[in-house]
Structures are given as C-alpha cells and as structure tokens.
Amino acid sequence: MDLNFNKNEDHNKLLLSQLKKNFSKVKLGGGEKRIEKLHAEGKMTARERIDYLLDPHAECIEIGAFVGEGMYAEHGGCPSGGVVVKIGYIKGKQCIVVANDATVKAGAWFPITAKKNLRAQEIAMENRLPIIYLVDSAGVYLPLQDEIFPDKEHFGRIFRNNAQMSSMGITQISAIMGSCVAGGAYLPIMSDEAIIVDKTGSIFLAGSYLVKAAIGETIDNETLGGATTHCEISGVTDYKAKDDKDALDKIKNIVDKIGDFDTAGYSRLKPEKPALDEKDIYGILPKARNEQYDMMEIINRLVDNSEFEAYKDGYGQTIITGYARIDGWAVGIVANQRKVVKTKKGEMQFGGVIYSDSADKATRFIANCNQKKIPLVFLQDVTGFMVGSKSEQGGIIKDGAKMVNAVSNSVVPKFTVIVGNSYGAGNYAMCGKAYDPRLIFAWPSAELAVMGGTQAAKVLAQIEASSLKAKGEQVDEAKEAELFAKIKARYDEQVSPYYAASRLWTDAIIDPLDTRTWISMGIEAANHAPIEKKFNLGVIQV
C-alpha cells in the first residue's frame, strides 16, 4: 500500500470513529437520568423495546438516527427526532418499527418527529411492509404547534396514511405503552390491531385536567382511558398486556401468523462476498473531496465476487453503468467516475462531472434496467453537469434533462449511496431525495450542497465584498480573507452529512462496509411490492 492510501485510510477511519461516537450519544435519547426514570416506572426504552421485538442476530437497519441533530437547541434538543425507526425481522418477516422515545420531552412530537414518522410510513407504503407502532407520547410539542399542525406534510398526514395503508392491505399493529393523547390517539386506533399495557398505557382525546377544565368532571387518567376501560368497556383496544414484554410478545405472535406476500420477482442468487477486500475502501476514498480516484475500485469491493458487466464502457466515461449482484440481488449500477478520462477524440473530461455523452449513456441504461426489472443503485460523487460554451452548444441541458426524466419515471426501485460530493443538479440526475429512492444514505465522507464549499464561499465573499464597497467601506485583502473564512465555515457546516441527516435529506450515515446490507435489505423490502406501472419516458428532446 502506498503512503496516500494510508493517509486516506487514517482519515476515513477517523470519520468512522466520529460517526460511532456521535451515534453512542444519540442512543441515550434524553439522557441517562430519564432512562433511569423510565425503568423505575417499569417501562423499557424505545430502543430496548425494538431490540426485544426484532429477531435476535438478524440484520436490521435504522432510519434517521441523526434526525434533529443540532436542531431545537432553545427547546433542549430532540435526539433522533424523539422517535426510533428500524427495519428488521419479526419471526422472520421483514417489518418496519416506529417507537416513540419517552425520554425526549415525554415523547412529544416536534416538527421533525412528524417528518420522520411520515418517512417511516412512506417506506411501508412503497414496499408494502408491515408497520409496528410502539406508542408512548405526550402528543404535539405545543411551543412549536404552528410548525406541525395544519399543513399537508404535518401531523394529520399520519392518520391519512393510516387509512390509505389499511385500504392497501398493509398490516399495521400498535402497542400503547405509555401516554397516547388527543390527535395522537387516532394512530393506534386506525391500526388493524391495538394492544395496551395495563397501568402504564392510556389513551384518550383529553386527559383528566382538560376534562375537568372543559366539562367540570373529576376523573383519574386510568379510569378515563386505561387498559381496563378500553379493553372491557369501550372496546377501543383489542388486547390487554401486563407489561412491555407481554405487549411485544403479543405483537410477535400476531406477525407470526401473517401470510405470504406477492413478490415483484427481482432476481436473486446465492450471495457471495466481494473477491477484493472491502476494507480497502477506506484507503481508496480520498481525504479531500476534490481529489481524483477510480470509482471502479469502490464498485469492485461492493459487488458479489467483484464481478461487474460494464455497459458502454468506452463511451460517456464520467459515468459508469453496468450490471452486478449485491448480496445475491441483481442490480444496475450508475456511478460517477471520479478520475480524469480521455475520450477517443483525445479530449480530457473531468472526473465527477456529467457530460452530454455520459448523461445519454445513463439514460439508455436506466431504460434497460426498467425493461429487465432490475433495481438501480446510484453511487454519487458528483460535482454537477459540465458548463461552458462547448457544452451548451452540444446540448448539455437537453441530455441532462433526458437523464433526469429517466430517473424520475423509473418504476424499478432505486437506491442512492452518497459516497462523496452531491452538488447541484448532479444530485438530481443521480437520484437525490427528490427523486424517490427507496433508501438514500451517505458515507461519512459525503457532502451535499448546491456547489462545493470553497467555490460557494468565494462567490458569496465576492458578493459581500462588492456590497461593502458600494456602501463606501474599504475592503482590503485581509478583509476579503476574513469574509471568505467566515462564509466558508458556515457553508462547511451546511454541507456536512450530519446537517443533511438531521433534516432527513438522507435516511442515514453509515459505515461504507454496511452498504451491501442496506442495499440488500432495501431490495428485499421492495420485493414485497409488485411493479404496477409501466416505464414511460414521456416527451423528451431527442
């Protein structure tokens, strides 16, 4: 191994170490004291409940672990958005589980909490996955009610999704394991079946204090909406559980009886490990985001047997397209090539940039994968589309639009891995969040922005300097350097993968060595949902 490999490896392993450290903090939710309080009440934490529910030793992936990171500081923060979401297996059946974290503001719903719950429901609906809700929430976080209550993608959308999933035949099971108040009371009752834990679970439209204030009735919460009331008098809930574990055992027993699903029929053979060492990825991926490298070296460490059938290998070389298998599943890979390439005409093309020929190639390949019913995997390390008079006259806008059209209208499941840069329109063409990937996740090396930090800071610093000069202020080189450094620092924070993950622009930040697991579980989930539409590019400029 050369010195550059070792430097890259040290850098990427340091990023991974920081990821693990950040995750260890997030896993504590509202903190150790609140966890102890929950245990004293005879309750398990959200993560303990999920761990008990899911099959031991089976693979699972967590959606949105870093949601809310760095947000709501004035309100005490909202680790993981106050809700834990995992895709895993219950009695061997793949499910998605959503658990309120009662250590974070008593499980109250922040605006980002609603967004994360809606994402979980979206995954369930797209993939026809059974969804399990472990409810323990004080309801909407009132100081921010104006950001969560009335709009289309706010709290009420969750109940609309409950109703739509029911009509789609998607199994929904709820366990009321703590408070379930006001509008939130509809979620478990709009599920197919509802379990309530005796003495700790309660469900009502208005608690005892509000009932007293509204109609003058004096009543305690247990009598008003406890397990006995709803299992024996109102009939609102279906099962009474003696404690958390009993409720989770009942869920396991119910899921165990669910029948088989129709499959989409994606091709899968016996999984094989890559022939090349996956750990080499740490040394191949450059320390700096503007350095060149060969993306094929990454691909060969992600695919089964390191076997890749390249499509149009010698044409449009700044995008790699081809067929492979990941954990046995057939996939079509669309990846940005990050090394400078030379065309047959003798022209040099920059790595990570999408040119007309590479956009044309990707469009054709995406159409082929849709025809063959092969899931698509996008490996993003893109700085954008090529600019300049030659590109404009060559129709870069037209060819870029064709690629975006193909990505938009693709009917096979898409999975996006942000390896490095994800800038500007390149993010769109390579299936960014706006283009409905079934899962989108980032490596710790990822950066998401309209353009790179240095470029953006230079542009913004020049604009600010011109503005100051127009006001009569003197701007010397030292002042320009100060402006640049200040803007660059702010921009660098915003391009961080944690900034994107906190806002759910990505589903997760993961160890590159977990990429195969995420893609495999994602395709397995997608295989629950047969394709119902035909691929159609619509009207495009040829």
pLDDT by residue, tens only, the chain of 542 residues: 589 999 999 999 999 999 999 999 999 999 999 999 999 999 999 999 999 999 999 999 999 999 999 999 999 999 999 999 999 999 999 999 999 999 999 999 999 999 999 999 999 999 999 999 999 998 888 899 888 888 888 888 999 999 999 999 999 999 999 988 876 778 888 999 999 999 999 998 877 888 888 898 888 888 888 999 999 999 999 999 999 999 999 999 999 999 998 899 999 999 999 999 999 999 999 999 889 999 999 999 999 999 999 999 999 999 999 999 999 999 999 999 999 988 877 788 888 999 999 999 999 999 999 999 999 999 999 998 987 788 777 778 888 999 999 999 999 999 999 999 999 899 999 999 999 999 999 999 999 987 766 777 777 777 877 887 788 887 777 777 877 888 778 778 888 999 999 999 999 999 999 999 999 999 999 999 999 999 988 766 65
Write the CA distances from 339 to 334, 349, 352, integer angstroms: 15, 9, 7
Q: What are phi and psi of 256, to 5 degrees?
A: -60, -25
Query: In terms of Cα–Cα distance, which of 158, 242, 147 is closest to 200?
Result: 242
Question: Residue 366 in contact with residue 407, Cβ under 8 Å?
Answer: yes
User: CA angle at residue 90 from 86 to 95, to 5 degrees?
Assistant: 45
Q: Would strands 93-100 and 376-382 be described as parallel, antiparallel, or unpaired? A: unpaired
**Angle subtended by helix axes 396-409 and 356-372, to nearest 10:** 20
Residue bearing tokens 């542009």: 459
Per-residue confidence (pLDDT) for residue 542, from 0 to 100: 57
> Distance between CA atoms of 51 and 180, rounded to whole angstroms?
22
Whole-model pTM?
A: 0.94
Straight-line distance from the first to the last Cα atom of the chain, in angstroms, rounded to the nearest whole number: 47
Q: What is the pLDDT of residue 213?
A: 86
CA 507 to CA 76: how far, in whole Å?
Answer: 23
- Give CA–CA dist 286/487, Å, rounded: 24
Segments of 431-535 assigned E as strands: 439-442, 447-449, 508-509
What 8-state DSSP symbol labels residue 260?
P
| Identity of residue 199 | K
Which is nearest to 448 in space by CA: 485, 498, 487? 498
Domains and CATH numbers, the chain: 1-28+264-446+506-541 (3.90.226.10), 31-256 (3.90.226.10), 452-495 (no CATH)
Q: What pLDDT, on the 0 to 100 scale, is given for residue 482? A: 79
Largest CA distance in the chain: 86
Q: How far is CA 207 from CA 195, 218, 239, 240, in A?
A: 20, 11, 22, 20
